[in-house]
Structure 1
């Protein structure tokens, strides 16, 4: 077999090994063994750098496993010069350099020089490559003489380094995407928790309990009382023995009080580490549980231009585990809005059992000539949040209705539900047609690389004489029903590909006329797929249920969900129903 075919097969094997590695350092055994076997190579050396500081050095002479040397924390002028030369390349491609090991190079090729001369090398070929702005590495091979290596050696060494760069970038993208997904899921879950109660302290206690240990080892929430004093209202710590200690620090420590007051007046959060913690109850110079705290983050709780308090996290983990300030400030903004909303309800003395679901509109509009009603039924309160959503958008005499469902349950489904609902609402507020709105949302979902599909139905109602003209488009969603004023029930023949699967999906629109007294019923599959004890689905009785539902227009959706709940004995999918009733024009009006 030709040598180039052998090399191609070796690179393919190396790439397959890279697919299972979380970091380029895990590739050492594979890479060093491959390069050491190239013609003329006496030894292999590799180094990893952060700026001008070597992180580690490895070498392979005759053994099967590379030898790893201790990290050298001192900066290296030669390392800085090598990085500058690499950064000077406009294409940022791996950089090759030939090295003579027989003379004195004043440390310009340290520590690789010593590692390779030990293998009997008189010359070396070095390949430097960037992994980040100041994160770089070098892979070098020792040669018995400058001419000892094969003529293909420079290309082969560059190809190996390019695989390492591709592996590193792939892992960076994967970790970033995974972290963003986890943050989105946590924010969605936190919002749901905060939306379940109008009691401020209970709401914030849930946030603190949810955040520990997912975000940090400790969490404290302070609110600004009317007299201006910061008062702790919620706390949590991963160690049960530290609970009382944290409560005392949060209420009485003067250093923490000053730090929180300074942060409360800002617009963005701060993270304190090292010397920033001096003088306070945290950090290595502190005593008790505070000595384990390596960092402290404080985000202001602000809503509608008002400072409400602070959200503080205590970290005992490495820097890599400390959450991004953007994420922490986003969580603080959501908490502040929940506090502000709860406060507003308390001030108005409105007796509300719970805040509207975070993923659903707080109220439906009341456009002239239409009565809208909506209801949401939870199939099983012990399960995670579902992905059903609906909304209504009024623009002049144009009314847009939409309803949808994200596949699956849980925090990730909730995060996608928020994305779908807010995207559709924005597009429809800008006047998009039903088919165009679905196409735009589908493009967004595919571009984001979502792992769940989404169904939705969009309807636009415009005046048509004494009734309304309906234009509808569907993305894999159950077909809506029309209950005519005369008593019949019709299914609207609209269909289309569900979203989040094909990037070029196109949707078509179906039209119909709604006369005074007619009702348009939009619903999710939780309604039609509810089952009784015999296994019969509610879909078989849905048209009759819509026909028999004589509730007032404002209660129509709630009444229909109640009929399904009476029927249901099985089915764990939530139900959303949105009904539009075409009002009858009274004489003389």
Structure 2
């Protein structure tokens, strides 16, 4: 029988039970499978009445191929889904390149290289061998040494694998201790309008070369990887641009200038934002003995659009610094500028010119539609500066009234936006903080340095609003120098004021 039947069928026949078909409860024998002449067959046994067995064969080649193809497609779909989830879970470009190289090496080839477009005179390359970890390097090499690589980096269609001679692969393309390369696939990593790079797959000599189907699947994987890398690169570029612009929009850190103490604090309307419609600046005088200019303002609206307008206003005020001694003229020119700007927002502002005069500080305060500054005397008395004016960017003519105030030693001037006084909160959550409550809080700050006054006002208003919604909040404190100083015990305590 072994000389006539295929080996798999002879073994199946030999394994049949002698009682086949003789007892009603005999289990049905397993169907045998095997090849005959390059085709695939199922063999089913049937018992004859005389103790013989008849085998009838069914050609299932097409069904088997279909099942194998379906199984492969399910595996590939699952792989692409897993790859997409991993790639899209991060907006870090280096992480995307590492994931791309590692997944390609584990599932598509023996080794994989992810090559990004040239950065200066070098190519960022991530290399991974199956079973290993990805490694990053920057190589000063010519991609034209590898057929199809330079074109792939530019986003052109891939060169068929059969056109690439593995023996011509340069040393930098082959990982250390990889061995002889038997087959290479190079495919672009398409991005959003700009190529994201190229994917290189390597298979060792002695292994089956890449098939056309595998090359097509590699391109499907590369499309997903390229989209993720492109998104990560765009995010990184946008984040860098945003960070640069944000630094220009953020309020400055204040300190002592020409013998006058300054401190400021800002809290945007939303905790996840860094800028908004409130702003402040201190411009030191370029001439010794001349006043420094303090600008605090509140642009209508909140968020990024308001922040953009604050940037325009701050730049305009900076350009108008040569006339800082004339508040009315500065605000008038700014008013004209805002009226001539498309989609302009109106703003409220207060200017303060401060100059040291012995142990005191002379102030000129000008409000333009803004809450009047509060003056805190060293004995706890709180006064409102007699200054007022119209909004900036609303009427053709701006009208303001300035006030001259002298800060004696230990006196403080508080500039604030209405986000402080109109902050709603309290026990019921809808009561405004109010100017009277602000005055009482400020009176308790008598004798404190400028930074402590800012921290106290910010702390009380934050406690008042709690988790509720609020507008942008900004405060600036101008303080006259004190005649007393801080002492410390053993040089380690925070110290106390002594006369």
Structure 2 length-normalised TM: 0.50
1:336 is displaced (CA, Å) by 8.4
| CA offset digits 1:158-215 (Å, max 9, x no partner) | xxxxxxxxxxxxxxxxxxxxxxxxxxxxxxxxxxxxxxxxxxxxxxxxxxxxxxxxxx
Q: Does 1:283 find its partner at 2:181?
A: no
Q: Distance in 2 between matches of 1:378 and 1:335?
A: 17
Alignment of 1:218-237 (within 5 A): 233=94
- Structure with greater Cα Rg: 2
User: What SS is found at the alignment partner of 2:431?
Assistant: coil
1:459 is displaced (CA, Å) by 0.5
Q: Does 1:498 find its partner at 2:391?
A: yes
Q: Where does the alignment leave 5 or more consecutive residues of structure 1 unmatched?
A: 1-216, 222-231, 237-241, 263-276, 299-313, 317-327, 339-355
For the Cα contact (< 8 Å) 2:331–2:398, is it kept in 1? no
User: What SS is found at the alignment partner of 1:583?
Assistant: coil
1:528 is displaced (CA, Å) by 0.2
Aligned equivalent of 1:469, options 341, 362, 367: 362
Higher helix share: 1
Q: Distance in 1 between matches of 2:385 and 2:359?
A: 21
Q: Distance in 2 between matches of 1:577 and 1:378?
A: 12
- What corresponds to 1:568 in structure 2? 465
Q: Does 1:421 find its partner at 2:311?
A: no
Change (3 A) 1:548 1:377: same
Q: Distance in 2 between matches of 1:434 and 1:393?
A: 14
Q: Does 1:363 find its partner at 2:363?
A: no
1:522 is displaced (CA, Å) by 0.4
1:424 is displaced (CA, Å) by 2.1
Alignment of 1:96-495 (within 5 A): 233=94, 244=100, 256-257=117-118, 261=122, 279-286=151-158, 290=189, 294-295=193-194, 334=241, 359-382=249-272, 385-395=275-285, 396-397=288-289, 398-428=291-321, 431-464=324-357, 466-495=359-388
Number of matched residues?
300
Aligned equivalent of 2:427, options 533, 546, 556: 533
- Root mean square deviation, CA, Å: 4.4
- What corresponds to 2:480 in structure 1? 582
Change (3 A) 1:462 1:336: closer
| CA offset digits 1:62-90 (Å, max 9, x no partner) | xxxxxxxxxxxxxxxxxxxxxxxxxxxxx
User: What SS is found at the alignment partner of 2:249?
Assistant: coil
User: What SS is found at the alignment partner of 1:499?
Assistant: coil
1:541 is displaced (CA, Å) by 0.9
Change (3 A) 1:246 1:506: farther
Aligned equivalent of 1:556, options 431, 446, 453: 453
Q: Distance in 2 between matches of 1:380 and 1:335?
A: 17
Structure 1 length-normalised TM: 0.43
1:392 is displaced (CA, Å) by 1.1
User: What SS is found at the alignment partner of 2:118?
Assistant: helix
1:561 is displaced (CA, Å) by 1.1
For the Cα contact (< 8 Å) 1:471–1:512, is it kept in 2? yes
Change (3 A) 1:255 1:480: closer
1:380 is displaced (CA, Å) by 4.2
| CA offset digits 1:410-444 (Å, max 9, x no partner) | 22111112222233234336645322222232222
